[in-house]
Amino acid sequence: MAGLIIRDLPTVLHEKIREESRLHHRSMAKEVITILEQALGAGERRFYPHPVKMAFPLTDEFINKAKRWGRS
């Protein structure tokens, strides 16, 4: 398993992790791993749709015309 070193961890954050690890009866390392897994959705693959292929280029000029369309 890979390791990770975190430098300059703010004291307040360190204390929060310590308190959470005590509440959950885990080591601080295990608590951090759990927090990261929850935040990043461990085991879940995120779905990103394929880019849309346009029949014409989407330019700033086109977008600005679209914004103004229908306005008086």
CA 24 to chain centre: 24
Domain ranges of the chain: 9-45
Query: What does the pLDDT read at residue 21?
Result: 95
Look up the pTM and report it.
Answer: 0.55
pLDDT digits (tens, 9 = 90+) for 14-33: 999 999 999 999 999 999 99
CA 62 to chain centre: 32
Residue 8: phi, psi to the nearest 5? 55, 40
Question: Residue 11 is inside which H or E element, if any?
Answer: helix 11-23
* Lowest-pLDDT choice from 11-15, 23-27, 39-43, 66-70: 39-43
